[in-house]
Amino acid sequence: MDAPSSYRITPEVPPSYYERLFDFMYTQFLLPQKLRFTDIIRETNSKGDKLTYIVTDAQGKQLVRVEVKSGTPFELKINPLDPEVTQTTLEEAKQDILIAMQTFTQNTRSATVYFAWREGEEIVPEAYTKPEKSFNRFFIETQILFFVVFIVFGMAIFITIAAILPDAFFIAPLILIAIQFVFVFYSTRFIARTADWHITQKNPIIHFLEYYLPVKEKGDFNKVYPRETLLAIKKEIYEEIIAKKGQVDCEAAQQIFLKHGVPCELENLKAKKVNVYELVKNIADRFRFPMPKIVVSNTMVPNAAASGPSPSRGLVLITTGLLVRLDEEEVLSVLGHEFGHLKGRDPLILYGLVSAEFLFRFYILLPLFPAIFSSFLFFAYFWGVMIFIFFISKFFEARADLVSANMVGTPQILANSLEKIGFQRLLYERTPSFRIQEWLGLDPHPPIYFRVDRLEKLSSEKIKHPLLQSIKDVIKGFIATLKN
């Protein structure tokens, strides 16, 4: 039987929220799942809060005993009860707590305000944008969504060219591919224009302040306190504190909140400043790359992207949400993943892949089977091609994980980062049908559970051929999902 496993987890919410967090885990996460969790005990005393429970399988067999205690940080202990318990079971037991904590944190965001400042820049209001509605989503990671959208709109370009220059219709695909190449080659400029701040060595710092409404207060910040009030608070904190002291002083910030009629408890304020330039330079030096351009998008969606046709023409996009949600080591591991895309020149490779399919479709399939493109079969073909391209792109995402592990040397920390950011998908991926959908869906990333498990099993030895290894791992992971 495996020895007990111990972990330390630092919640994102302030200590005043800990009791409510334990109540949420007990009533909203553990109790509703009666077939998975049994013997649930919730305790509160002068030392803090504690939860203990047993995880069972579908037949009711006891697998592990879990204990989580509040503190700074939280203490999590997982004790195997069955000699044949698998590592996957132990990992899922840990993820249960992470998922519950992150779900609670997300639920409290309606009672939370985040401020971010760049020294010397105008005050930029935070954008609480959902990932699927973010414009930068088209450029995030491998830019494959941008390629797909571009190809779809290519049909409109064909129609236009055919109407204006009928004789040039045959070379229309080449014109479109050439235009797309220009977009890929200069993609860094387009992405930079969508960002809020350009980070430089002379001005590398971003300041943050998180404030959770006191537990006794209820409501949505955006509804209770108008946008004008929050912007006034943000502006005054910058002018009266950051500009004079070089960093956020929580006690002084508390007074400004109170001045504007916003109830504020000191323990619910958390401030930090991040030298974004040094973080990126740290990774660039490890990769021995020239320093890329750095831009920041002031949105609470946690994400990062690396773009450019080559490392010498690279750009790194980071959202303030990523800098708020992750600690410095976790941000470095994510940046290592993004630099892995630059190292592999993934945008150019995927551009070539999508372009080759497009030319094949127009110059070979269309002349041989013209009827297909005016029937339902065309949509079936196009859908199948997109699934195939997105599956291939999973090779490059998996390789970027390995490259980060090789160059940064912290695969476990990258796995932790993925668990934090992708906690909702981790929960959905417990369902076999959803796992298959993740493998065959229009997402360039492999499932989170696969990436986390793979990173945690890595040895200290560097992977000599990350792409070949990733191709093997992705195919093996997909086949294993089909068998289960």
Give the pLDDT score at 379.
80
Report pLDDT digits (tens) over 16-48.
899 999 999 999 999 999 989 999 999 998 888
Mean pLDDT of 67-83: 92
Give the pLDDT score at 428.
87
Name the least confident of 96-105, 255-264, 371-380. Answer: 371-380
Does 220 score more than 70 pLDDT?
no
Quote the longest CA-to-CA distance of the chain.
Answer: 83
C-beta separation of 330 from 322 below 8 A? no
Q: Give the helix, strand, coil percentages of the chain, each rounded to 5.
A: 60, 15, 25
Contacts of 24 (CB under 8 A, 6+ apart): 100, 103, 104, 107
Beta pairing, strands 37-45 & 5-9: unpaired
Sign of CA dihedral 330, 333, 339, 340: negative
Q: What is the DSSP letter of 317?
A: E
Residue 192's pLDDT band, with cuts at 50, 70 and 90, is confident
Give the pLDDT score at 392.
93
- Which residues are bridge partners to 299 per DSSP? 127
Q: What is the DSSP letter of 242?
A: I
Which long-range contacts does 250-259 make (Cβ < 8 Å, 24+ apart)? 250/209, 253/209, 253/211, 257/211, 257/233
Report pLDDT digits (tens) over 421-456.
988 888 888 887 888 888 998 888 999 999 999 999
Separation of alpha carbons 481 and 432, rounded Å: 7
C-beta separation of 44 from 68 below 8 A? no
Residue 108's pLDDT band, with cuts at 50, 70 and 90, is confident
In the sheet that 205-212 helps form, which strands lie side by side, from edge to edge? Answer: 112-118, 205-212, 269-275
Residue 126's pLDDT band, with cuts at 50, 70 and 90, is low
Report pLDDT digits (tens) over 337-387.
999 999 998 888 888 888 888 788 878 887 777 777 667 777 888 888 889
Give the pLDDT score at 354.
81
Separation of alpha carbons 312 and 315, rounded Å: 9
123 compared with 437, residue with greater pLDDT: 437
C-beta separation of 205 from 275 below 8 A? yes
Q: Where does residue 302 fall: left (phi above 0), alpha (psi -120 to 50 degrees), or beta otherwise?
A: beta
